[in-house]
Chain A
Amino acid sequence: MNFSDMTALQLGQYLHQKEIAVGEVLDAVFEQIDKREEELHCYITLDREGVYRQAERIQSCILTGEIPSPLAGVPISVKDNLCTKGLRTTCGTAMLENFVPPYDASVVERLREAGMLIIGKTNMDEFAMGSTTETSYFGVTRNPTDPSHVPGGSSGGSAASVAAGEAFAALGTDTGGSVRQPAAYCGVYGFKPTYGTVSRYGLIAYASSLDQVGFFTKDAADSAALMQYTCIRDRKDATSVGLSDPGMLEKIWKAAISKERQNQGELFDESTANRMKGKRIGILKEIPGVNVAPAIQKAVREVGAIFEGMGAEVEEYEPTMWEYGLCAYYTIAPAEASSNLGRYDGVKYGLRKDREELHDMYLATRTAGFGEEVRRRILLGTFVLSRSYYDAYYQKAMKVRRLLTDELGRAFGRFDLLLGPVSQQTAPKLGVCLQDPVQMYLGDLFTTPANMAGMPAISIPCGCDEKGLPVGVQLMADRFRDKELLQTAYLCERKGISCRNTKQ
């Protein structure tokens, strides 16, 4: 049986009906890892031993019929900024090269409860600061479609691991697009839920008010299932609110399972199509001076046309605050980061460069432990928070954030969903972005608004450009409309929009 094309839910079905065993699946995944990992480098740490032990436990659950979730026994990879008890968690930095957390992130706990198998910790930009996975202390990850290109970032290792068949799904984190952009670059689904729905406890903070755990999957139904089993109001995270009525998520993935099992051929039926009737879709109008690659523009238009064909009302939406939003994002995120990263000082854990005097120890440790991009953002953040510049930068950025959120709020008065690009370009070549950080920051134009406003958004793979590199489009919804967003993404796929990673 060829597992590699299966979604996580499909695999779960086969496992739970005992058509295959958990161990066999792991063998196949590790075979794929052995084949591709040396070139791609999706993982910082693999947990072969641990995962086979987990597999035994899950297999015996399956045999006794106590199946904790439809995802039980499915291998998943976890971004290395999510704490895993007893398993090294580096956050892509020299500072935490040997950090083994004594606790699980809450979302990791949820995965374990759902019986998922954590095969390893994926590569990422150092402290999630970057858009290419090239700032990692542990070396770059390559794009599975074309290894001379980056996988995107900061969750590049997670995206690549799913695209390359080295995992069936992955956890990532999205502060300014770090799930959606690498998903688009690698040709997989990347879903960033509403801020607060999935707990941040155990997520090593970059920018607390923007950070959100998200998922990489092979289809929308997998994202819905992962969301259902991880979103919860967590008492360890004061900003966590959970999601009311996760039952609708269940409908999405149950529909997917029944379709797959009953009629592999039929991908779409009329009753589900009706759901799009009368839905109002705002299609993002071109922003002057922002060049979006033709293949991406085309994909966005095509998806718009398909929605129209399904009876949705598609109208243009003109963003006015997004560019200012990007500037504000690159003020607020470094500001929070400069404070969040204060704790890495060599005193309690992580790297320490011993010196006679305390201040010298701080300097030596932080100079040795942080890479260039991280230092740049700490400097930026320290600057914008300093007393003389607080009003001019941080305070102003917070006002822009408010204005952007208001603008999006008004947009969602008119529209149910917004449709647009994830990024201006498809995956660039390795090394290109590092030369010009500001250019790299500009690449986050389309993804940062969802973080600034705490709204859910999903990156849907939509074919390839002329070079064969994956193209993604973004759907965005109002806060707590995660279910509608996933539902629509699911319908898109049923309609045949999705084109998963084409070149394996």
Chain B
Amino acid sequence: MQEYETIIGLEVHIELSSATKIFCGCSASYGGRPNSHTCPVCLGMPGTLPVLNKAVVEKALAVCLALECKIQTECRFDRKNYFYPDNPQNYQITQRYLPIGEDGFLEIETPDGGKRIGITEIHMEEDAGKLVHMEGNRETLIDYNRAGVPLIEIVTQPDFREADEVISFLEKLRHVITYLGAGDCKLQEGSMRVDVNLSVHHAGELLGTRTEMKNLNSFRSVVAAIASERKRQMDLLDSGGEVILETRRWDDGCMNSFTMRSKEVAEDYRYFPEPDLPPLKITGQQIEQARNSLPEFREERRDRLIRQYGLSREDADLITDSRILAELFEKTVSFGVSPKQVSNWLIGETMRILREKEMDPGELAFSAEHFASLISLCAEKRITNAVAKNVYEKMCIRDFDPNRYVEKNGLEMMTDLTDLTETVKNMIARNPQSVADYRAGKDKVIGFLVGQTMKATGGKADPNLAAQLLRSLLSET
């Protein structure tokens, strides 16, 4: 049987980070008590009018430039008309005819080297509210907090052939957006939404009919949905069937997709230019300014960190995953601590804490200067690792000077040999069983006794010294 080829294109919606909504002054932040982030404008009350938030245009422009798009210097907004209660006006303000950016690309890395993914267009639009279907009765409630939150939609060319390519595109896109500070791109929270258009055909033959897959809430579902849809279409064709142009909904629970709506009877959105908003002029000067303020993106930064600080590729990859961590790294190093130590701390302790406490790097409280001080305290063996980790965890939540904190709370490493000897002797006296085990040749017991010693000293004992003392005291008698 002939091999199938798969053609994939994406439509990616990204919530732009903005303090306020795209057409009114309401908060655009995620969550909040239902309908607490609303006003007459975003509720579509009679007589109210949209006013474009300039910050949204700046962010959208930056994304367009980062993705090498041509900028529409006189772009426009259009209305997309459809009846559904998630949209209070029953039309969405979007850009149908003259989107802000067109014809760009993003280069991704593949096993066969770099590959350019074409960007058809990028346009700005408003998000819709959320319908909450009540369980038990047939009521549906509406939360308009999200209505009017600024979005951009990025439409790619059908340039993908594999799920791996899609993932590496999405990861790179996420890095571009987060490095720009234009959005946080969290699939689970819906601040990045990916629709996958996929078709299959036999090599050398005409392209097949595509389907659109929605409701992909993680990279994992993207991969699974591509595999599943690819197989579904191939099986369908192999059994003499036909692929129908339709929108399908992915269900993470059963790892399968279902028809949402057929596109055969295409919905007519009756697009027309939004008369409430004048055309949006973007000047050459604005474009130049935006271009000049583009940041150093992830790849460049990663390569520079490797070159400049001698980091390993793996470490540099991890650190530059977040622009904030990458910046923290460089700032901390600038206070004179060793890059290797800083990177070890970031990859070890920092990432553990972020994971455990479900924090964003942006939420880390401490300053780079205090972080450097802590690393120095530890490196100079003025405090033990155990104490350092303890102090660090506190600094993540509240910024303070670790030098003073250590001093004030008497957390310096125990340097007085007589004190430590005393403690170790106590340990030996209190743990006869362990002592017997050690003498019977179980060397591991030393670890336990060191742990007990650390506990007794509040982590301030030098564990190496404690182990030495233990060994020598135990072998004395």
Instruction: For the complex, give the distance between the alpha carbons of A294 and B278 in Å.
Output: 42
Q: Are A349 and B45 in touch, CB under 8 angstroms?
A: yes
Q: Are B278 and A238 in touch, CB under 8 angstroms?
A: yes
Does B85 lie at the interface of the complex (its beta carbon under 8 Å from any beta carbon of A)? yes
Known: A238-B49, A343-B90, A385-B270. A336 touches B43 (CB 8 A): no
Q: Which residues of A contact B46 (CB under 8 A)?
A: 83, 89, 91, 96, 99, 101, 204-205, 343, 349
Contact check: which of A102, A208, A238, A336 meets B40 at CB < 8 Å?
Answer: A102
Complex interface bits, B27-49 against A, C-beta within 8 A gives 1, otherwise 0? 00000000000001001111111
Q: Which residues of A contact B44 (CB under 8 A)?
A: 343, 348
- What is the predominant secondary structure among interface residues of chain A facing chain B? loop
Does A236 lie at the interface of the complex (its beta carbon under 8 Å from any beta carbon of B)? yes
Q: Are A339 and B81 in touch, CB under 8 angstroms?
A: yes
Q: Are A358 and B51 in touch, CB under 8 angstroms?
A: no
Instruction: For the complex, give the distance between the alpha carbons of A338 and B89 in Å.
Output: 12
Of the stretches A195-203, A266-274, A411-419, the one at the interface is A195-203
Does B420 lie at the interface of the complex (its beta carbon under 8 Å from any beta carbon of A)? no
Instruction: For the complex, give the distance between the alpha carbons of A207 and B272 in Å.
Output: 13
Instruction: For the complex, give the distance between the alpha carbons of A201 and B142 in Å.
Output: 25
Report how many residues on chain B are interfacial, defined by Cβ distance under 8 Å.
Answer: 29
Does B91 lie at the interface of the complex (its beta carbon under 8 Å from any beta carbon of A)? yes
Does A402 lie at the interface of the complex (its beta carbon under 8 Å from any beta carbon of B)? no
Does B135 lie at the interface of the complex (its beta carbon under 8 Å from any beta carbon of A)? no
Does B268 lie at the interface of the complex (its beta carbon under 8 Å from any beta carbon of A)? yes
Min CB distance, B265 to chain A, in Å? Answer: 12
Instruction: For the complex, give the distance between the alpha carbons of A103 and B40 in Å.
Output: 8
Min CB distance, A200 to chain B, in Å? Answer: 6
Q: Are B268 and A339 in touch, CB under 8 angstroms?
A: no
Does B50 lie at the interface of the complex (its beta carbon under 8 Å from any beta carbon of A)? yes
Does A105 lie at the interface of the complex (its beta carbon under 8 Å from any beta carbon of B)? yes
Q: Are A339 and B272 in touch, CB under 8 angstroms?
A: yes
Q: Which residues of B contact A209 (CB under 8 A)?
A: 275
Complex interface bits, A91-120 against B, C-beta within 8 A gives 1, otherwise 0? 100001001011101000000000000000
- Chain A residues with CB under 8 Å of chain B are 81-83, 89, 91, 96, 99, 101-103, 105, 200-205, 207-209, 235-239, 335-336, 338-339, 342-343, 345, 347-349, 356, 358, 362, 382, 385-387, 390, 394
Q: Are B268 and A386 in touch, CB under 8 angstroms?
A: yes
Q: Which residues of A contact B57 (CB under 8 A)?
A: none
Q: Which residues of A contact B459 (CB under 8 A)?
A: none
User: Quick one: which of B44, B270, B271, B276 has the most chain A CB within 10 A?
Assistant: B270
Contact check: which of B47, B51, B90 meets A345 at CB < 8 Å?
Answer: B90
Q: Nearest 7 CB-CB pairs, A to B?
A: A342-B90, A385-B270, A209-B275, A208-B275, A202-B47, A204-B46, A204-B47
Instruction: For the complex, give the distance between the alpha carbons of A345 and B87 in Å.
Output: 11
Apart from A83-B47, A339-B270, list 15 A-B contacts with CB within 8 A.
A81-B47, A82-B47, A203-B47, A236-B49, A236-B51, A238-B278, A339-B79, A342-B81, A348-B44, A362-B83, A382-B270, A385-B81, A386-B268, A387-B270, A394-B272
Contacts between the two chains (Cβ within 8 Å), count: 101
Does B52 lie at the interface of the complex (its beta carbon under 8 Å from any beta carbon of A)? yes
Q: Are A238 and B91 in touch, CB under 8 angstroms?
A: no
Q: Which residues of B contact A83 (CB under 8 A)?
A: 46-47
Task: Jot down 29 A-B pairs with beta carbons below 8 A, ordered by A.
Answer: A82-B47, A89-B46, A96-B46, A99-B46, A101-B40, A101-B45, A101-B46, A101-B47, A103-B40, A103-B45, A103-B48, A105-B47, A204-B46, A209-B275, A235-B51, A236-B51, A238-B50, A239-B49, A335-B272, A338-B270, A339-B91, A339-B272, A342-B89, A342-B90, A345-B90, A349-B46, A386-B268, A390-B270, A394-B272
Q: Which residues between 319 and 375 of chain B lie within 8 Å of chain A, taking CB atoms?
A: none
Instruction: For the complex, give the distance between the alpha carbons of A347 and B46 in Å.
Output: 13
User: Quick one: which of B43, B46, B51, B271 has the most chain A CB within 10 A?
Assistant: B46
Q: Are A358 and B85 in touch, CB under 8 angstroms?
A: yes
Min CB distance, B56 to chain A, in Å? Answer: 13
Instruction: For the complex, give the distance between the alpha carbons of A394 and B79 in Å.
Output: 14
- What is the predominant secondary structure among interface residues of chain B facing chain A? loop
User: Quick one: which of A103, A339, A356, A362 has the most chain B CB within 10 A?
Assistant: A339
Min CB distance, A356 to chain B, in Å? Answer: 8
Instruction: For the complex, give the distance between the alpha carbons of A362 and B83 in Å.
Output: 9
Residue of A nearest to B274 (CB): A208
Q: Are B52 and A238 in touch, CB under 8 angstroms?
A: yes
Min CB distance, B48 to chain A, in Å? Answer: 7
Contact check: which of A89, A201, A207, A343 meets B49 at CB < 8 Å?
Answer: A201
Instruction: For the complex, give the distance between the alpha carbons of A209 and B275 in Å.
Output: 5
Instruction: For the complex, give the distance between the alpha carbons of A61 and B44 in Å.
Output: 37
Min CB distance, A227 to chain B, in Å? Answer: 21
Instruction: For the complex, give the distance between the alpha carbons of A209 and B273 in Å.
Output: 10
Min CB distance, B222 to chain A, in Å? Answer: 31
Instruction: For the complex, give the distance between the alpha carbons of A235 and B45 in Å.
Output: 17
Min CB distance, A114 to chain B, in Å? Answer: 20
Q: Are B50 and A205 in touch, CB under 8 angstroms?
A: no
Does B467 lie at the interface of the complex (its beta carbon under 8 Å from any beta carbon of A)? no
Residue of B nearest to A241 (CB): B278
Min CB distance, B149 to chain A, in Å? Answer: 18
Q: Which residues between 133 and 164 of chain B lie within 8 Å of chain A, taking CB atoms?
A: 138, 142
Known: A342-B83, A343-B46. A239 touches B276 (CB 8 A): yes
Q: Are A237 and B85 in touch, CB under 8 angstroms?
A: no
Q: Are A343 and B81 in touch, CB under 8 angstroms?
A: no
User: Quick one: which of B90, B142, B272 has the most chain A CB within 10 A?
Assistant: B272
Q: Which residues of A contact B268 (CB under 8 A)?
A: 386-387
Known: A339-B270, A385-B272, A394-B272. A239 touches B47 (CB 8 A): no
Q: Which residues of A contact B465 (CB under 8 A)?
A: none
Min CB distance, A76 to chain B, in Å? Answer: 18
Q: Which residues of A contact B275 (CB under 8 A)?
A: 207-209, 239, 336
Q: Which residues of B contact A345 (CB under 8 A)?
A: 83, 85, 90
Q: Which residues of B contact A208 (CB under 8 A)?
A: 275-276
User: Quick one: which of B44, B47, B51 has the most chain A CB within 10 A?
Assistant: B47
User: Quick one: which of B44, B49, B79, B85 has the most chain A CB within 10 A?
Assistant: B49
Known: A105-B47, A336-B275, A339-B270. A348 touches B88 (CB 8 A): yes
Does B277 lie at the interface of the complex (its beta carbon under 8 Å from any beta carbon of A)? yes
Q: Which residues of A contact B276 (CB under 8 A)?
A: 205, 208, 238-239
Q: Are A239 and B278 in touch, CB under 8 angstroms?
A: yes
Min CB distance, B422 to chain A, in Å? Answer: 75
Instruction: For the complex, give the distance between the alpha carbons of A209 and B88 in Å.
Output: 21
Q: Are B88 and A386 in touch, CB under 8 angstroms?
A: no
